[in-house]
Amino acid sequence: MDILVLAGVGVTLLGLAGLIYCIAKAFKARQAGLEGEELSTHLQSLVAINVGSFALSALGLALVIVGILL
């Protein structure tokens, strides 16, 4: 396989791991009984990680597409 495709898969998996981390942290906060302002504050701290992970996944998928086309 092409190195660009392999790099894209790696970057995509890294982004996916970040998304799973955000989901797990949000679920744990909900299970801990956080409500209202406390839950909102906790979830706001995860927004940057969530957006970054999504961007990383999109970049990785773009690398895979470019690697396939080349």
Q: Burial-class residue 53 by CB neighbours within 10 Å (0-12, 13-18, 19+).
A: buried
Q: pLDDT per residue over 38-69, tens digit each?
A: 888 888 889 999 999 999 999 999 999 999 98
Which of 24, 6, 10, 22 lies closest to 54 in space, CA to CA? 22
Q: Buried b / exposed e across 9-48, counting CB within 10 Å, b at 16+?
A: bebbeebeebbeebeebbeebeeeebeeeeeeebbeebee
Q: What is the pLDDT of residue 22?
A: 93
The model's pTM is 0.81
Is pLDDT larger for residue 18 or for residue 33? 18
Average pLDDT in the chain: 90
